[in-house]
Amino acid sequence: MTEKEVIDAKIQKMIDLKETAELGGGKNRIADQHAKGKLTARERIDLLVDKGTFREIDALAHHHSTQLGLDKNVPLGDGVVTGFAEISGRKTFIFSQDFTVLGGSLAEMHGKKICKIMDMAMKTGTPVVGLNDSGGARVQEGVISLGAYADIFLRNTLASGVVPQISMVMGPCAGGAVYSPAITDFIIMVKKTSYMFVTGPKVVKTVTHEELTSDELGGAEVHASKSGVAHFVAENDMEALEILKTLLTFIPQNNAEEPPFVPNEDPVDRKDDDLNYIIPANPNQPYDIKEVITKIADMGEFFEVHKDYAQNIVVGFIHLGGRSIGVVANQPAMLAGVLDIDASKKAARFIRFCDAFNIPILTFEDVPGFLPGSYQEWNGIISNGAKLLYAYCEATVPKITVITRKAYGGAYDVMNSKHIRGDFNFAWPTAELAVMGAKGAVEIIFKKEIETAENKEQREAELIEEYNEKFANPYIAASYGYIDDVIEPRCTRMRLIEAFNLLENKVDKNPPKKHGNIPL
């Protein structure tokens, strides 16, 4: 053999090994994956990243186990494809579990590969995207598999609030394995092909006698609407990857950076006359707060998070004058926009994400108060409502509130009031800031007067009118400086952009501490 032939043979060996690794579990298993309506780990990466930017790491890693016949099946890559790439020009670390290899099951090397890219992401301040499609802890590698999961959970926790972590659940995700996505910032699930549960349908049937399919127990729609575990639901793998790409446009690379500025054609001084008339004359009539959000947002675009969960509060991202803004808004069109346990948890987690990653927060407030009832009290509306209050109080990013209508009771304080460090608190002329609505207030204060009146109903109506005249407006709060200005609704976009521009270099701090003790 000539010297050149020796070198060529070595290069060929490398090529062959990489080609073998690329085939994953082989053609038949890839066909099975497709038959289930799923893409393969590598196809998903190809669709996600900018063409030609993916660089794989540890393609040639494999397990070293000899247990239960594993020595006869030693696939390269060990069931997960890891590496880094650019997604719309943004550097990102990616792991994509390969169900065609040992069911994507996680064990020593599979876990080490994920930990390696997570460590690199932390050192370089780069987001991590995980594409999960796995049978869970690899049975053959026993406790080593469990240890590998714990290594990942630790890193998920340490990376939380340092680099964004996004989980795509695109297949099975069961048992303790669910806790890695659960610690990350966002979970995107795919309808029909993905599910998440701590214990599967068989165990559930044995223990509780409930008969449920995997989809009924832990499918995408269940987690998007009932448990709130999933932030986004996609029809298929392709749509899930598009959701992820859009999400990345709103968030920074890490907690030391600002989110990307997205210039656009929408004039910053655009006024919208419809906003002046969007609040119905009858204070008990609903309207859709999402209409308000889209009317003030750049290009009318609102990227909603947790759309199907706790719909009485709306959260999501917009661009405003090119800036990424997190929006939290009571939704009068659902349960009158009341705050309950789920709404409080949903908004609190979103606010904490925004605050951790330097995304200013815009609050639209129209809230009649906290939801009464034994269910709410027994299930902890006190500690759950406190989560929302705590999240707003501790947030130091620019915070602006617009009160469109009701700001009643404790909910007035909670929804980013001036007192808890709202930077600009605006009200529309239709705003009503009071301890409670007119009927409730009159029944408490004028109980005796109403009881002794000749015409009870008429007297009550008169008193309600008087109360509304006196209290159902923004001017008492304005007189105390609790709101900074009453603004014409049509000018809201312009006023918000001006205010967020002013707050661009805002500095605010919390006292030094190890960490606070949010009422979890």
Half-sphere exposure of 218 (CA within 13 A, CB side): 20
Shortest distance, CB of residue 134 to ligand HXC, whole angstroms? 8
Nearer to ligand HXC, 237 or 432 (CB): 237
Nearer to ligand HXC, 149 or 467 (CB): 149
Shortest distance, CB of residue 76 to ligand HXC, whole angstroms? 16
d(CA 428, CA 442): 24
Nearer to ligand HXC, 176 or 322 (CB): 176
Q: Which residues bind ligand HXC (CB under 6 A)?
A: 102-103, 105, 135-139, 146, 149, 172, 174-177
d(CA 304, CA 165): 18
d(CA 195, CA 351): 27
Tokens representing 110 are: 């599979």
Beta-strand pair 323-330/361-367:
parallel
Answer yes or no: 175 catalytic.
yes
Nearer to ligand HXC, 138 or 399 (CB): 138
Nearer to ligand HXC, 149 or 390 (CB): 149
Which of these is catalytic: 142, 147, 176, 200? 176
For helices 289-296 and 492-502, what crossing angle results, to 10°? 60
Shortest distance, CB of residue 64 to ligand HXC, whole angstroms? 16
Which of these is catalytic: 147, 200, 410, 440? 410
**In which residue are the tokens 């399919």 written?**
213
DSSP per-residue string spanning 147-168:
HHHHHHHHHHHHHTTTS-EEEE
Nearer to ligand HXC, 105 or 330 (CB): 105
Answer yes or no: 411 catalytic.
yes
d(CA 508, CA 274): 36
Shortest distance, CB of residue 66 to ligand HXC, whole angstroms? 15
At 362, is the secondary structure helix, strand, or coil?
A: strand
Which of these is catalytic: 411, 427, 472, 499? 411
* Strand intervals (E) in 352-497: 361-367, 399-408, 424-427, 432-434, 485-486
Which of 138, 131, 4 lies closest to 62, judged by CA? 138
Nearer to ligand HXC, 172 or 409 (CB): 172
The rounded radius of gyration (Å) of the Cα atoms in the chain is 27
Tokens representing 128 are: 């991590």
d(CA 13, CA 6): 11
Distant-in-sequence, close-in-space partners of 300: CB < 8 Å, separation ≥ 6? 294
Shortest distance, CB of residue 128 to ligand HXC, whole angstroms? 18
Question: What separation, in Å, do the N-terminal and C-terminal C-alpha atoms of the chain show?
Answer: 69
Shortest distance, CB of residue 31 to ligand HXC, whole angstroms? 13
Tokens representing 349 are: 């987690």
d(CA 471, CA 440): 13
Answer yes or no: 130 catalytic.
no
Shortest distance, CB of residue 102 to ligand HXC, whole angstroms? 5
Shortest distance, CB of residue 71 to ligand HXC, whole angstroms? 14
Whether the CB-CB separation of 407 and 432 falls below 8 Å is answered with yes
d(CA 43, CA 51): 12
Answer yes or no: 136 catalytic.
no
Nearer to ligand HXC, 73 or 510 (CB): 73
Q: Which residues are catalytic?
A: 175-176, 410-411
